[in-house]
Amino acid sequence: MQSVSVPWSVWYENTTFELTFPDSWELHVAEMKGGPEIGDEGIRRALAEPIGAPPLREVARGRRDAAILIDDLTRPTPSYRLLPYILEELAAAGLGDDRVRIVCALAAHRPMTRDDFLKKIGADLLERLEIINHNAMDSLQFYGHSSEGIPIWVNRDFARSDVKIAAGMITPRGRIFGGGAKLLLPGACGRETILANHMYCPQDTFREHIDEVANLVGLEYIVNPLLNARGEIMALVAGHYREAFAHGIEIGKKLYRTEVPDGMDIVVANAWPKDTEATQAGMAMVPLYGAQETALKEGGTTVITAACPEGLGFHSVMGPGTLYKERSRRSGTGGRVTRVPDGSRIIFSPNLNKYDVRNQFGENARLCRTWPEVLDALEAKHGAQAKVGVFPCGAIQYGGQ
Domains of the chain: 2-32+259-396 (3.90.226.30), 39-254 (3.40.50.11440)
Residues 244/238, Cβ–Cβ less than 8 Å: yes
The residue type at 286: V
For residue 97, pLDDT over 70 is answered with yes
Residues 279/314, Cβ–Cβ less than 8 Å: yes
Average pLDDT of the residues in 154-158:
98
For residue 219, pLDDT over 60 is answered with yes
**Region of residue 368 (left: phi > 0; alpha: psi -120 to 50; beta: else):** beta
pLDDT at residue 323 in the model: 87
Alpha carbons 226 and 332: distance in angstroms, whole number: 21
Give the number of C-alpha atoms closer than 13 A to the C-alpha of residue 53, restricted to the C-beta side.
Answer: 25
**Top-confidence residue, 224 or 298:** 224
Alpha carbons 133 and 196: distance in angstroms, whole number: 22
Q: Which of 62, 78, 54 is nearest to 239 (CA)?
A: 54
- Characterize 270-306 residue by residue with b for buried, 16 or more Cβ atoms within 10 angstroms of its Cβ, and e for exposed: bbbbbbbbbbbbbbbbbbbbbbeebbbbeebbbbbbb
pLDDT at residue 401 in the model: 75
The strand pairing partners of 366, in sequence order, are 346
What average pLDDT is seen over the chain? 94
Average pLDDT of the residues in 75-97:
98
**Region of residue 291 (left: phi > 0; alpha: psi -120 to 50; beta: else):** beta
Strands 221-227 and 344-348: unpaired
Average pLDDT of the residues in 220-247:
98
Residues 133/121, Cβ–Cβ less than 8 Å: no
pLDDT at residue 340 in the model: 43
Residues 6 or more apart whose CB falls under 8 angstroms from that of 216 comprise 143, 144, 146, 152
pLDDT at residue 339 in the model: 41
Residues 219/52, Cβ–Cβ less than 8 Å: no
pLDDT band per the 50, 70, 90 thresholds, residue 294: confident
Say which range, 89-93, 212-216, 298-302, has the weakest mean pLDDT. 298-302
pLDDT at residue 338 in the model: 38
Alpha carbons 216 and 147: distance in angstroms, whole number: 11
Average pLDDT of the residues in 17-30:
98
Compute CA distances 158 → 154, 185, 362, whole Å. 8, 12, 37
For residue 335, pLDDT over 90 is answered with no
Residues 6 or more apart whose CB falls under 8 angstroms from that of 288 comprise 260, 267, 269, 295, 296, 339, 340, 399
Give, in degrees to the nearest 5, the angle at Cα 361 between 360 and 363. 110
Average pLDDT of the residues in 290-319:
92
The DSSP element (H or E) to which 165 belongs, if any, is strand 163-166
pTM: 0.95
Alpha carbons 201 and 171: distance in angstroms, whole number: 21
pLDDT band per the 50, 70, 90 thresholds, residue 342: very low
Residues 6 or more apart whose CB falls under 8 angstroms from that of 49 comprise none
- The fraction of the chain above a pLDDT of 90, given in percent, is 90
User: Cβ atoms within 10 A of the Cβ of 114, count?
Assistant: 9
User: Cβ atoms within 10 A of the Cβ of 94, count?
Assistant: 12
pLDDT at residue 235 in the model: 98
The DSSP element (H or E) to which 131 belongs, if any, is strand 130-133
The strand pairing partners of 268, in sequence order, are 303, 390
pLDDT at residue 391 in the model: 98
